[in-house]
Amino acid sequence: MNNQNLFAALRAAFPADLDTPAIETADTPQRLVYTWRDLDHATAMIANLLQSLELPAGTRVAVQTEKSVEALMLYLGVLRAGYVYLPLNTAYQASEIEYFIGNAEPGVVVCSGRNFGWVSKIAFKAGTQHVFTLNEDRSGTLLERAYHQPTQHEPAQRGADELAAILYTSGTTGRSKGAMLTHGNLLSNAQTLHAYWGWRADDVLIHALPIFHVHGLFVASHGALLAGARMIWFSKFDPQAVAARLPEATVFMGVPTLYVRLLAEPSVNRETCAGMRLFVAGSAPLLIETFNEWRNRTGHTIVERYGMSETAMLTSNPYHAQDGDRRGGTVGFPLPGVGLRVQDDQGQPLPTGEIGGIQVKGPNVFVGYWRMPEKTKEEFTADGWFKTGDVGLVDERGYVTIVGRSKDLVISGGYNVYPAEVEGVINELPGVSESAVVGVPHPDFGEAVVAVVVPRAGATVQPDEVIAALKQRIANFKVPKQVYVVPELPRNTMGKVQKNLLRDQHKGLFGG
Ligand code: MLC
Ligand code: AMP
């Protein structure tokens, strides 16, 4: 049987001449160029190191490090060795990391050297045997140990249905859930996008997204690797620096905030974008104003696509003109091989053009939530379709439009914020009786988190103290940009907090 290991498929797409550049850094103190041979050798060394630890099959390798080429090599090395990669956002604070590590029980944890003290404490408590460090400047124990390993490694034999990664996602209710993605899920999606977006070996991708979520880790990286295409690698998004590299590139991917910020750079214009062939946006709704302004300014029409941690990419506007127009405000067509339907609350199919819950099926759809069989069952229909929690419609031409979400979720700058989680942390603060967290329009982040807090009788609560306390406890992008202290929350006759009223009341806060 063919090896279905995702790394093996990516490796097979490396160019014949391994000594050509694969990745070039854009913002390290000195420019670093990594050849395909470097990628091959380094991932082999990391895979050999992991295998030397004699970890049981299915071991999770949890990683919270700054973005670097070595962090990408670590991801690929984990795949190569056949273990399960578990990326964690660098913004997560100790209590969040404690939850993820406690839930996933990784056999290996890799963190930044500066966090080793607290991360290793959490990891060892959860039973993790090995904690390595990896820093932006290529120092740390992971590479020190890997350095002594052989540069040859036969990718571990894996079936399409074996786990490759677990991505924690907020989902609809309760605590974060680990979406289990297989080698087959990720490879099929990468191959579909490769063909649909016309990836070529001479493409040059500007990679400026974080690599701890689907967009940067899978969509962008797999796209370039599977094409044998070069990447210009930014560890952090800097609009001016990214704009300066556009003339050398052909592909760019970003969440809408990246496009909004790039539009503020006068150097982004037809001339500097003349060599570009593909701009992709997703992870959050792209405003039609941004879509239009981008086209006017650069002459390029953004390809908006839609996906999730649980499914990787589901739909995309067409790339090839013969497949149709790229329509702003829509997320395009279901990708080849992806089934998409719209149902009402009673589970009945809705006719074309009517708004309902979006459900999907396909080789890209995950196999379930880590150790949560009940939650998994709830999110699938009896006939096996995954309920996305997104609300939308399919028009007569087949284009999908997302009009909202049935899940209580705020997407800020492309990051998901689950209001119940933030409310839970606020409610534990001294003097707080209850709270409600909503998302309101924001010109830069699309949506911004706002909290409305009710103090206990006789207590005083200061908004800036709430914000300061939250910064210690949760990732910074989840921290409300504004906190209001009110005597009571608006409720309907059933006693349910009327978040729509709060959203309405504060919708002009950021001039959005
Ligand atoms: C940073 N800040 C944010 C924020 N990012 N606030 C709200 N929402 C965000 N997304 C705040 C910080 O809290 C901090 O505030 C201040 O901005 C500066 O922090 P920073 O880290 O220096 O910010 P910056 O580098 O400017 O980051 C902005 C950003 C980043 C847009 C570049 O958020 C980003 O890379 N977003 C992309 C997320 C992404 O890749 N999503 C894909 C998910 S996959 P303070 O007050 O502390 O100073 C997915 C599936 C799919 O959804 O379909 O793709
Ligand atoms: P995550 O859980 O981080 O994977 O986020 C997935 C969610 O992001 C989806 O369920 C959608 O709500 C949202 N999303 C992704 N792409 C788009 C898009 N192009 N337009 C609107 N929402 C999107």
Closest ligand, as measured to the CA of 67: 1
When pLDDT is cut at 50, 70 and 90, the band that residue 174 belongs to is low
DSSP conformation letters of 213-271: SHIIIIIIHHHHHHHT-EEEE-SS--HHHHHHHGGG-SEEEE-HHHHHHHHT-TT-STT
Say if residue 408's pLDDT is above 90: no
Say if residue 382's pLDDT is above 80: yes
The secondary structure of 96-139, three-state, reads HHHHHHHHHCCCEEEECHHHHHHHHHHHHHCCCCEEEECCCCCC
Q: Relative to the CA of 281, which ligand 2 atom is closest?
A: 19
Closest ligand, as measured to the CA of 446: 1
What is the C-alpha to C-alpha distance for residues 387 and 320, in angstroms, rounded to an integer? 29
When pLDDT is cut at 50, 70 and 90, the band that residue 2 belongs to is confident
Residues within 6 Å of ligand 2 by CB = 169, 214, 282-285, 304, 306-309, 331, 388-390, 402, 405, 411, 416
pLDDT, residue 326, reads: 98
What is the C-alpha to C-alpha distance for residues 314 and 411, in angstroms, rounded to an integer? 18
Q: What residues have CB less than 8 Å from 44, skipping those under 6 apart?
A: 77, 80, 149, 150, 151, 152, 153
Helix (H) or strand (E) holding 8: helix 6-12
What is the C-alpha to C-alpha distance for residues 216 and 125, in angstroms, rounded to an integer? 31
Please compute the mean of the pLDDT values over residues 5-27 and round it to a whole number. 98
Take residue 198 and report the two structure tokens written for it. Answer: 């016309």
Helix (H) or strand (E) holding 359: strand 356-361
Please compute the mean of the pLDDT values over residues 255-271 and round it to a whole number. 98
Kindly report the length of the chain. Answer: 512
Is 510 touching ligand 1 by the criterion CB < 6 Å?
no
Q: Are 86 and 166 in contact (CB under 8 A)?
A: yes
Say if residue 267's pLDDT is above 60: yes
Is 282 touching ligand 1 by the criterion CB < 6 Å?
yes
pTM passes above 0.95: yes
Handedness of CA 270, 271, 277, 280 (dihedral sign): negative
Take residue 173 and report the two structure tokens written for it. Answer: 């209710």
Please compute the mean of the pLDDT values over residues 361-382 and round it to a whole number. 96
Q: What residues have CB less than 8 Å from 383, skipping those under 6 apart?
A: none
Please compute the mean of the pLDDT values over residues 97-107 and round it to a whole number. 97
Interval 462-490: pLDDT, tens: 999 999 999 999 999 999 999 999 999 99
Interval 144-158: pLDDT, tens: 999 999 999 999 999
pLDDT, residue 418, reads: 93
pLDDT, residue 271, reads: 98
Give distance in angstroms: CA of 282 to centre of ligand 2.
7
Q: To the nearest whole percent, how much of the chain has pLDDT over 90?
A: 96
Give distance in angstroms: CA of 337 to centre of ligand 1.
32
What is the C-alpha to C-alpha distance for residues 411 and 331, in angstroms, rounded to an integer? 16
Instruction: Look up residue 17 and give its DSSP letter.
Output: -
Take residue 484 and report the two structure tokens written for it. Answer: 């209001």
Of 465, 489, 451, 470, give the one whose Cα is nearest residue 93: 470
Q: Considering the chain, what is the average pLDDT of its residues? A: 96
Interval 299-346: pLDDT, tens: 999 999 999 999 999 999 999 999 999 999 999 999 999 999 999 999
pLDDT, residue 233, reads: 98
Take residue 448 and report the two structure tokens written for it. Answer: 């911004």
Interval 114-141: pLDDT, tens: 999 999 999 999 999 999 999 999 999 9
The secondary structure of 327-345, three-state, reads CCCCCEEECCCCEEEEECC
Tell me which of 308, 369, 400, 412 to substitute to probe ligand 2's pocket, judged by most ligand atoms within 8 Å of the beta carbon.
Answer: 308
What is the C-alpha to C-alpha distance for residues 204 and 224, in angstroms, rounded to an integer? 8
Bridging pattern class, strands 60-64 and 108-111? parallel
Say if residue 172's pLDDT is above 90: no
When pLDDT is cut at 50, 70 and 90, the band that residue 407 belongs to is confident
Residue 164 backbone dihedrals phi, psi, to 5 degrees: -110, -35
pLDDT, residue 406, reads: 87
What is the C-alpha to C-alpha distance for residues 198 and 262, in angstroms, rounded to an integer? 24
Residue 368 backbone dihedrals phi, psi, to 5 degrees: 140, 175
Residue that has been written with the tokens 């991801």 in this structure: 75
User: Which of residues 494 and 489 earns the better pLDDT score?
Assistant: 489
What is the C-alpha to C-alpha distance for residues 86 and 167, in angstroms, rounded to an integer? 6
Interval 135-145: pLDDT, tens: 999 999 999 99
Please compute the mean of the pLDDT values over residues 30-52 and round it to a whole number. 98
Say if residue 512's pLDDT is above 60: no
Give distance in angstroms: CA of 312 to centre of ligand 2.
10
Say if residue 196's pLDDT is above 60: yes
What is the C-alpha to C-alpha distance for residues 174 and 177, in angstroms, rounded to an integer? 8
